[in-house]
Amino acid sequence: MKKKITALILILLIIGTAAFFMTRKKENPNELTLYGNIEIRQVDLSFQVSGIIEKMLKEEGDSVKKGELLAILDSKDYKSNLEKAESEVNKTLALKNDAVSKFDRNAPLVEDNTISKQEYDTLKNTKDKAKADYDAAVAARTYAKNQLDYTKIYAPDEGIIMVRVQEPGATVNKGQIVYSISKTRPVWIRAYVNETDLGNIKYGQQVNVYTDTVNPQTGKKREYKGYIGFISPVAEFTPKTVQSTDLRTNLVYRIRVYIDDTDEYLRQGMPTTIKVDLNSSADSQN
């Protein structure tokens, strides 16, 4: 019985050893495998003025396009301020034009003493003050217009509403968060490479990226095209979150892989596998 068990163990060891070497042979020596996680930037949006929210136009999970209107404050007071500023511009413009006209008409008369030097100075001072008042009114109008424009929030980039913090009727201060948006572009992967493999990768080098999610149409893991867009010039100790056991005790270099054909299936923190063709040349990326 013992001989049979010993023979069985030997057979299993032989099979295991053969399987190991067969697996090793299947590894592609011209391909480097890296592991990383999806990184997506999140942006907090707020009004640049205070007021009462009139409309919140998006819900959590909604997709937004760059420049799309997202929220509006009650703008009655800001519109009133702009109207007053416009009126002041018109008023000071009329005074400026009148003062300039009087000065231009009377300035030559000081040379033949038709008007005194004191009268000339008075006309000049009046003209200069009228110009200054007009310039100040124009600046005030620009400020009032900007304040009115700030009663609206627009999407700074294409993205997805992650958090809707406020509701219509709420009073918000300048800079108080109203929405948080996850930008859908650019999407990149944070990964790490050891010093031994560092010489095998280049800026702009094309890569294939795989996630653990399966494409139901193909039955295979989702695949994306990308390129290496950043290689850190400084080594660092391997972060605890790095998946590869080979790197956990090493000094490594952080890299960033940009995804070309991003879609809605890529999520913040999602683990990925990166395949780098060591025979590929670096292509320039804009």
d(CA 93, CA 87): 10
> Which position has the higher pLDDT, 10 or 165?
165
Beta strands in the chain (DSSP E): 31-39, 42-46, 51-56, 63-64, 69-73, 152-154, 159-164, 171-172, 177-183, 188-194, 206-215, 220-237, 251-259, 271-277
64-103 pLDDT tens trace: 999 999 999 999 999 999 999 999 999 999 999 999 999 8
- Domain residues for the domain of 123 are 75-150
- pLDDT higher than threshold 90 for residue 250: no
Selection from 24, 282, 63 nearest residue 155 by Cα: 63
Same domain? For 193 and 250 the reply is: yes
For residue 21, being part of any structural domain is answered with no
For residue 173, being part of any structural domain is answered with no
User: Which of 157-161, 210-214, 216-220 is the least confident region?
Assistant: 216-220
pLDDT value at residue 30:
79
pLDDT value at residue 237:
81
Portion of the chain with pLDDT greater than 90, in percent = 60
List of residues 6+ apart from 257 with CB closer than 8 A: 36, 188, 189, 191, 207, 209, 226, 227, 228, 229, 274
Selection from 215, 196, 195, 193 nearest residue 205 by Cα: 193
Same domain? For 141 and 198 the reply is: no
What pLDDT band is residue 219 in, cutting at 50, 70 and 90?
confident
State the CATH number of the domain containing residue 130.
Answer: 1.10.287
For residue 223, being part of any structural domain is answered with yes
pLDDT value at residue 3:
53
pTM above 0.85, yes or no: no
- pLDDT higher than threshold 90 for residue 176: yes
Q: Regarding beta strands 31-39 and 271-277, do their DSSP bridges make them parallel or antiparallel, or are they unpaired?
A: antiparallel
State the CATH number of the domain containing residue 248.
Answer: 2.40.30.170
List of residues 6+ apart from 86 with CB closer than 8 A: 141
107-155 pLDDT tens trace: 888 788 888 888 888 999 999 999 999 999 999 999 999 999 999 999 9
Q: Is 167 helix (H, G, I), strand (E, B) or coil?
A: coil
For residue 10, being part of any structural domain is answered with no
For residue 91, being part of any structural domain is answered with yes
> Which position has the higher pLDDT, 5 or 153?
153
For residue 4, being part of any structural domain is answered with no
Same domain? For 129 and 198 the reply is: no
d(CA 252, CA 125): 71
For residue 175, being part of any structural domain is answered with no
For residue 64, being part of any structural domain is answered with no
List of residues 6+ apart from 226 with CB closer than 8 A: 189, 206, 207, 208, 209, 257, 258, 259, 260, 274
pLDDT value at residue 228:
95
CB 201 within 8 A of CB 228: yes
32-53 pLDDT tens trace: 999 999 998 899 999 999 999 9
Same domain? For 190 and 268 the reply is: yes
Domain boundary among 150, 176, 200: 150
- pLDDT higher than threshold 70 for residue 207: yes
As a residue count, the chain comes to: 286
Q: Torsion-angle region of residue 48: left (phi > 0), alpha (psi -120 to 50) or beta? A: alpha
Same domain? For 195 and 264 the reply is: yes
Selection from 206, 217, 215, 220 nearest residue 263 by Cα: 215
pLDDT value at residue 21:
35
Amino acid at 236: E
Count of structural domains, the chain: 2
Tell me the CA distances in angstroms from 76 to 5, 10, 103, 137, one per residue in order: 90, 87, 41, 21
